[in-house]
Structure 1
């Protein structure tokens, strides 16, 4: 805590974390204790407890606090990234932002998934200068622009104009390298990605088949897609 206070004036992320920690004093005791327990669970990589606490806290109007903690740990723990995406999906945060800019519900679904992929892939870029929800809104807005650009365009899109999901779908259809990228995924992510993107199963069907919550499936697919995209960039297939 002393280190955070010392850096308070100079480090935007330390600024926000310090404010968040001080804000615990203003919370009801049971909520404050839950926040501290969640912090400890994430530190210990105890994701059974962390998942339970995130559900409790997000229904207690502590979404910003939960997202701040998850984003902090997501930089070093893939499971925290998965849980972050799961919370953003379960609370409707991403979908609400997308629905505010689009009327077509299919487009809202597509943009929401694109945004979740981008969030999983770029969590390291969050610098703490704003709320996590503000950062998320910026990502969703970019994916909305991508979608509208594709809708207006009558010529094939360049790769840089395509969303991560659209780019991955194109690569799957044209490049055998994707098979290698998929095979490199841990089974935790590979199986749901293959079921969704290769075999075309609905999220609900995948959740039932794998006996996992649907929110977890969406988070794992988003994480898996991001890992595939990173693999393809590393091998020079995409930029």
Structure 2
């Protein structure tokens, strides 16, 4: 019966996230692979913006999807799948940040580094002059450095808003805090970012 139902199903690529996660809860590996394909790069980029280490970001992203697979049966559809996914990634990224503070390691990452599809901070390559390229990289470095000075409490909502493009109410769901708190933290993050960029 289950195989017949699966056989009549529309292609995975045409399924919504919430439909796919319901199949994952039944142990459907193909549905899981489709979700991973949709979100792997986004989650890795997002985690990187928090932990600031490529290897750690990849590890946390992998752990995020492992949890998605084994916790799929707990998803009730009260929120969008992406909200649930980012909530898991956020909690794991925060845990990794705390762990790294307790056991600091030296990272060889350079601002904007990484392979294609891993880190989105690079500016588009439209053939700028060497001087213009240097200026862009310098701005990039300064933004990275300024973001690193902001507490994750404030940086994470800012990244979700400005980089990931989530609305205030969606960020509130991801972080499980009131919408007013989200707005307040983002405002504080913006002020802190501006301060670090102008000093």
Give the TM-score normalised by structure 1.
Answer: 0.36
Give the TM-score normalised by structure 2.
Answer: 0.43
